[in-house]
Amino acid sequence: MRIQSNNPATQLGKSGSAGRARSSSSSFSVPQESGQTSQAQQTSHSAGLSDVTSLLALQGVEDPLHGKRRKAIRKGNRMLDLLEDVRLGLLSGNLSMSILHQLERLTEMAESSGDARIDALVEEIGLRAQVELAKLEGHRAG
């Protein structure tokens, strides 16, 4: 059985006086410094902006393997769902041949996602599906 959690984001902070700045009667002032220091501060602010711009640009670049990974994950999830349907069909005595054909077709499709871990998981799920199909074929033949 596969469990998926889709919890909505919860509010992290509480509203109230805890986060508010307290005012005081004394004032704070920064002494004036030479022009060199202010120029250095201006440069560091510019560098921060270019860093943020670079990060945003990197996020916009799409990974060419992203679609293949997502497709492999969908295939693995679909095989798990079909295996669950086979289990339920065997328990209820109403195993549909269309489920077996779908499972067989999925196990025959061999595609690489480019991620060795995902490929290994999908192969393990496919192997389990082939074992179940072979057991069912043995029951039909014998």
pLDDT the model gives residue 141: 75
Domain boundaries, the chain: 66-141
Nearby residues of 112 by Cβ (< 8 Å), 6 or more positions away: 68, 72, 119
Q: pLDDT tens digits for the chain (142 residues)?
A: 566 666 555 545 555 555 455 555 567 777 676 555 555 555 555 555 677 777 767 666 666 678 889 999 999 999 999 999 999 999 999 999 999 999 999 999 888 888 999 999 999 999 999 999 999 888 777 6
**Which 8-state DSSP code applies to residue 114?**
S
Cα 30 to its chain centre, rounded Å, is: 47
Task: Please tell me the distance from the alpha carbon of residue 62 to that of residue 66, in angstroms, as a whole number.
Answer: 8
pTM above 0.75, yes or no: no
